């Protein structure tokens, strides 16, 4: 770059890129690339204090980077330089980012909806069928040389009512798949969908969803208003013998209350890919032969992982090049991102 050339915008990679390093490296033609692929929160904060990131306009943040920097909480957001305006996050869930603190600093945050819909919906159906068919005990027995073990009769999905809590992209993809098994779909959102998106699903109140669902699927984001949205009072309103499936975030469920309802038989089975305190799992779930469990693999396919990485990079490019993000998080939609006037 010649002395008269404008300085390239600076962007930062936090965490790893696995399938799209070639795309990341190609950004060198228009950005200055910095990286913090591994380290500790103390090291990251020390870099911020030392001015290492003073020119950063935006970052690519992998979901796994929380293990290195900790969450983007109020402390960390407050330490970001004034130049930092964009966080392109890799993940449909973004509960490890304090969006309110980001909004107060006028830092836009994007996530990766859409890219995860199919893989997560497929995992939901896998768990739904595994829980309905009481598949855990036969699978364990087979490997232990006990053939079917203490097999319980399962249930067919046909004719069952599937209640979807959170009818966004993933919830609609789950409904699409469940229809092929002959399930009736009801759902609850904060607002009813456009009828064109319902595809025959029926909008009901939260109370009716709990009361009518034979299978309750959680497909909503985790935030302060949805944390423990299913606890003892809500479980008491469900049908005796209900099956509960969760591929969203573990803390949507009060795990201790769920274990109690499972032990009593009120909940007949669960299919879970996410847990309240990952990687720790409530021992009552681990011990239950009516709990069909997976270790948070909902988006663990090559195609989905690459699509997510590419969407994060696209968000970062749109932010730096055009001042807008393609998939801004819901809490920030409609906010005024125009620069404030001096003295305002």
The secondary structure of 14-33, three-state, reads ECCCCCCHHHHHHHHHCCEE
- Using CA of residue 297, residue 299, residue 303, residue 309, what is the dihedral sign? negative
CA distance linking residue 52 with residue 55, whole number of Å: 8
pLDDT of 343: 43
Span 67-86, pLDDT tens digits = 999 999 999 999 999 999 99
Answer yes or no: are the C-beta atoms of 201 and 185 closer than 8 Å.
yes
Question: Do residues 74 and 102 touch, judged by C-beta distance below 8 A?
Answer: no
- Matching fold, domains 10-114+303-332 and 117-293: yes
Domain 117-293 is found in CATH 3.40.50.720: yes
- Picking from 245, 240, 24, the residue whose alpha carbon sits closest to that of residue 120 is 245
Handedness of CA 288, 281, 129, 179 (dihedral sign): positive
Q: Which residues pair with 235 in a beta bridge?
A: none
Residue carrying structure tokens 């915008």: 9
Write the CB contacts of 179 (distance below 8 Å, at least 6 apart in sequence).
185, 199, 200
Query: What is the spatial distance between Cα 58 and Cα 286, in angstroms, rounded to a whole number?
Result: 41
Q: In the chain, which residue ranges form alpha helices assigned H by DSSP?
A: 21-26, 41-49, 66-69, 74-79, 99-104, 117-132, 136-143, 169-179, 195-198, 206-212, 232-236, 255-264, 283-287, 302-322
Q: How far apart, in whole angstroms, are the C-alpha atoms of residue 272 and residue 232?
A: 18
Q: For the whole model, what pTM was predicted? A: 0.88
pLDDT digits (tens, 9 = 90+) for 319-337: 999 999 999 998 998 876 5
Annotation marks residue 282 as catalytic:
no
The pLDDT of residue 6? 66
Which CATH topology does 10-114+303-332 take? Rossmann fold (3.40.50)
What are the residue boundaries of the structural domains of the chain, listed by start? 10-114+303-332, 117-293
Note if 176 is an active site residue.
no
| Cα end-to-end span (Å), the chain | 38
Neighbours of 237 (CB within 10 A): 14
Confidence (pLDDT) at 336: 63
188 in active site: no
* Residue ranges of the chain whose pLDDT lies below 70: 1-6, 336-344
Single out the catalytic residue among 61, 89, 133, 249. 249
What pLDDT, on a 0 to 100 scale, did the predictor assign at position 334? 82
- Sheet containing 291-293, strands listed edge to edge, beginning at the edge strand earlier in sequence: 202-203, 184-188, 161-165, 215-218, 242-246, 267-272, 291-293
* Residue of 212, 266, 296, 306 marked catalytic: 296
332 φψ region: left (φ > 0), alpha (ψ -120 to 50), beta (else) = alpha
The pLDDT score that the predictor gives to residue 335 is 79
Active-site residue, from 25, 75, 278, 303:
278
Task: Note the pLDDT of residue 327.
Answer: 96
C-alpha 168/C-alpha 327 separation (Å) is 14
């Amino acid at each position: 770059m010649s002395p008269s050339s404008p300085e390239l915008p600076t962007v930062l990679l936090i965490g790893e890129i696995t399938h799209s390093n070639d795309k990341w490296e190609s950004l060198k033609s228009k950005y200055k690339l910095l990286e913090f692929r591994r380290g500790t929160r103390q090291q990251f904060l020390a870099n911020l204090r030392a001015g290492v990131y003073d020119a950063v306009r935006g970052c690519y943040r992998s979901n796994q980077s929380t293990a290195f920097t900790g969450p983007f909480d109020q402390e960390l957001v407050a330490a970001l330089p004034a130049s930092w305006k964009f966080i392109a996050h890799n993940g449909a869930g973004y509960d490890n980012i304090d969006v309110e603190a980001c909004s107060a600093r006028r830092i836009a945050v994007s996530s990766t909806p859409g890219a995860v819909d199919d893989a997560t919906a497929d995992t939901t159906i896998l768990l739904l069928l595994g829980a309905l068919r009481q598949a855990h005990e036969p699978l364990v027995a087979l490997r232990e040389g006990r053939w079917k073990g203490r097999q319980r009769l399962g249930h067919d999905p046909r004719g069952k009512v599937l209640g979807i809590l959170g009818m966004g992209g993933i919830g609609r993809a789950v409904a699409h798949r469940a229809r092929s098994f002959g399930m009736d779909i009801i759902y609850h959102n904060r607002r009813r969908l456009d009828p064109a998106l319902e595809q025959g699903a029926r909008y009901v109140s939260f109370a009716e969803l709990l009361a009518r669902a034979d299978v309750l699927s959680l497909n909503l984001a985790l935030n302060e208003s949805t944390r423990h949205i299913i606890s003892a009072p809500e479980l008491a309103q469900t049908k005796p013998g209900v099956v509960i499936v969760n591929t969203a975030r573990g803390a949507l469920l009060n795990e201790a209350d769920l274990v109690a309802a499972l032990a009593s038989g009120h909940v007949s089975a669960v299919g879970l890919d996410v847990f309240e305190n990952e990687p720790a799992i409530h021992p009552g779930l681990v011990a239950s032969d009516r709990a069909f469990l997976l270790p948070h693999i909902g988006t663990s396919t090559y195609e989905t992982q690459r699509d997510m990485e590419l969407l994060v990079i696209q968000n970062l490019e749109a932010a730096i090049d055009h001042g807008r993000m393609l998939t801004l998080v819901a809490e920030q939609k409609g906010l005024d991102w125009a620069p404030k006037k001096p003295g305002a």
